[in-house]
Structure 1
Amino acid sequence: MHIAIIGAGLAGLTCARRLQAAGHDVIVYEKGDGVGGRMSTRQTELGGFDLGAQYFTASSGRFRNEVAAWRKAGWVVPWEGRLVTLDHGVAQAAGRSGSQRLVAVPGMASLAQRLAQGIEIRAGQAVVGLERHGAQWLLSVLCDTVPVAATAGPFDAVILAIPADRALPLLRPVSAFAVRAEGAHLVPCWALILGFQEALNLEYDGAWVQGSRLRWIARDNSKPQRRPGEHWIGHASPQWSQEHLGDDPERVKEKLLKAFHEATGSPVNPIYADVHLWPHAQAATPLAADCYWDEGERIGVCGDWFAAGLDGCGRIENACLSALALAGAIRPEPQH
């Protein structure tokens, strides 16, 4: 089959690789300039900053098999960061999760970049509509260089590997699954990016923060194979991010930097500071399924907002398991 995949995050890339290996002809459309979605590494004059996904764990056997292959290839390695809970500046050792924490090297985005190798990806092209064309699909595609949408296709099947809030406008006119997908509303997250001239000398590498605008902070350069320098990432809480969703970024940066100083007790000012908004960071409530595939309509949906047999959602493991489930539900291309 000739298959279009919308979204080049981990779910879209994982699904694309499996389908291509099964003999299908796959094209991935991505509205951004690069691949990876929230597995993002911001490149600056100070080096890279993992401003999205911070690390991942593997709890299911199927995902552990995937991770084992990534580790063997040298794409991911363990992160032995010292993690604590911070409550009004007081640090307490965080309990072990029981699962090893892993990171991609030399940045979280590098895993997606490697998974994208050998896949045809149309970056900078936003799919804004789906239309039936007999038994096939046509895509309406926008890009920065053309003022009007172009038509792409026809495709035998379409897969949406994007956040639920972005998938809904595409699904509503063509699929009854849109009604279920409305239950997976995603919450935003403001990310804070900080670079310092000198070490802060804090006795931890990451912390879950209590009683603060920030929910999580991490010393990014404590991860393996990162560029030297004092680099920190902060993630605001979902509630605070939602309340300040439309705020001016400079104002958000000022507030989150103050929260960082209060949480860490460090008076040192950064030489680099910026913020980034993830408008669809994590599903408030996951869908209790692995994925969605309509064999008759040949339209499918996958992503980290599906539970995929796990407790909770929004994790790299959810995205991968959901994509594998969807790829497995699509019949292999017959061999001639």
Structure 2
Amino acid sequence: MKTNWDVIVIGAGMAGLSAAQQLRAAGKDVLVLEKSRGVGGRMATRRTDAGQWDHGAQYFTARSATFRRQIALWLRANVVSRWHEPIYAWDGTTLQASSPQQRFVGKPTMNAPLRAMAAQLVIELSAQVSCISRSCGAWSVHSESKTWQAPELVLAIPAPQVARLLPATHPLQAATAQVTMQPCWAVMISSKHAIHLPFAGLFVNETNVNDDVLSWIALDSSKAGRSGQHWVLHASVAWSLAHLDDTPDMVIDALCQAFSRLLKQWGQSKPSWQAATAHRWLYARGNAEAPITQDASDGLAIAGDWLAGGRVEGAYLSGVAAADILLTHSAN
């Protein structure tokens, strides 16, 4: 693969791919680098012989006209569907329907729309970027075995990773270093028998409920293109922080016990859990408290959901915004 490009995008999550898509549409020669083995970021799906689970982002909504247009394209391509199943909230005493809104999921997996975007792009997977540098009007991006160069660069990764890559003297380094991102442990389990509950997804009030262990419960197999009895449990931020270095087995045990206690409280018999696995999202949630100003005077832009409210839509819009910043700068 060649090493010189118009733009290099680091990160193949929603923010990175939306930026790359916009830049490619404008005629730029774009390379996307991704440290993982697949695209999607936190819009991830875990597949095993026992089934599949969307263990990161659970669904997404659309408030802006820009993102609604993109979702319409995904719906027509059959890589996104509406999630019509009921979503409830639990405050420790009452189960009640959550606020009604139109929710969407990838079909048949959460990362399906990102794979559709990626199909039109040049992406190098398992590319762990170790450092970046700039000289003679171009950015050099280094991994252990390769170096790529481009006059323009998009960092579409979590704020702490942006701060580590940026030179200490870069004007965005201090701003990104101040952004705090929070972890989330996710547990993926299956039940041998159906569990009959009035909801497919549940927000758990994290204050004085169930020892503050859980924040979200979902019957993942209730989404279009899925089957079986596959559940996703997300731990609360507080619990995840307190148990950041626990082993996966310890996390599975704690979250399954917390779910079982809730089921007992709701009059359900204790299920027989199967195919349990866990994943730690180190940078699951984050939001820049103050706006971060970008001028792309050196050909660099940043993107990520943490720049725009922490939602999937925010990630998409931040990628579009980063592309627009670079295109505006290069046109001047």
Q: TM-score, normalised by structure 1?
A: 0.90
**Counterpart Cα distance in 2 of 1:298 and 1:48:** 40
2:145 partner letter:
A
Distance of aligned partners of 1:184 and 1:45 in 2 relative to their CA distance in 1, 3 Å threshold: same
**Counterpart Cα distance in 2 of 1:154 and 1:76:** 35
What is the Cα deviation at residue 62 of structure 1? 1.7
**Counterpart Cα distance in 2 of 1:202 and 1:318:** 31
Contact 1:4 1:26 survives alignment (8 Å): yes
What is the Cα deviation at residue 154 of structure 1? 2.1
Instruction: Write 1 or 2 for the structure with the bigger share of helix.
Output: 2
Distance of aligned partners of 1:236 and 1:288 in 2 relative to their CA distance in 1, 3 Å threshold: same
Contact 1:130 1:174 survives alignment (8 Å): no
Paired residue for 2:136, among 134, 137, 157? 134
Contact 1:216 1:234 survives alignment (8 Å): yes
Counterparts of 1:164-243 in structure 2, within 5 Å, are 164-173=159-168, 175-210=170-205, 211-212=209-210, 213-226=213-226, 228-243=227-242
1:166 partner letter:
Q
With 201-210 and 216-225 compared, the bigger mean Cα shift is at 201-210
Contact 1:6 1:161 survives alignment (8 Å): yes
Paired residue for 1:321, among 311, 317, 321? 317
What is the Cα deviation at residue 173 of structure 1? 3.1
Counterpart in the other structure of 1:144 = none
SS in 2 for 1:126: coil
Cα distance per residue 1:175-214 (max 9 Å; x no partner): 2111111232100000010111110122221111231300
Paired residue for 1:93, among 89, 96, 100? 96
SS in 2 for 1:17: helix
**Counterpart Cα distance in 2 of 1:271 and 1:77:** 28
Alignment gaps of 5+ in structure 2: none
SS in 2 for 1:330: helix
**Counterpart Cα distance in 1 of 2:48 and 2:187:** 14
Distance of aligned partners of 1:330 and 1:175 in 2 relative to their CA distance in 1, 3 Å threshold: same
1:41 partner letter:
T
**Counterpart Cα distance in 2 of 1:287 and 1:135:** 32
Q: Percent identity?
A: 35
Counterpart in the other structure of 1:303 = 304
1:110 partner letter:
A
Task: Report the RMSD for the aligned CA atoms in angstroms.
Answer: 1.9
Counterparts of 1:22-101 in structure 2, within 5 Å, are 22-88=26-92, 90-97=93-100, 99-101=101-103
**Counterpart Cα distance in 2 of 1:331 and 1:85:** 43
SS in 1 for 2:225: coil
With 274-283 and 110-119 compared, the bigger mean Cα shift is at 110-119
SS in 2 for 1:15: helix
Would you identify which runs of 4 or more consecutive aligned residues in structure 1 move more than 6 Å? 332-335
**Counterpart Cα distance in 1 of 2:296 and 2:329:** 14
Contact 2:297 2:329 survives alignment (8 Å): no
- The answer to whether 1:160 aligns with 2:160 is no
SS in 1 for 2:320: helix
Distance of aligned partners of 1:292 and 1:120 in 2 relative to their CA distance in 1, 3 Å threshold: farther
What is the Cα deviation at residue 153 of structure 1? 2.4
Cα distance per residue 1:205-243 (max 9 Å; x no partner): 1111231300000001111111x2111001100111011
Contact 2:191 2:230 survives alignment (8 Å): yes
Alignment gaps of 5+ in structure 1: 142-148, 308-312
**Counterpart Cα distance in 1 of 2:261 and 2:114:** 35
**Counterpart Cα distance in 1 of 2:254 and 2:233:** 12
Cα distance per residue 1:99-122 (max 9 Å; x no partner): 301111001011111110121111
**Counterpart Cα distance in 2 of 1:128 and 1:230:** 41
What is the Cα deviation at residue 286 of structure 1? 2.5
1:221 partner letter:
S
Q: TM-score, normalised by structure 2?
A: 0.91
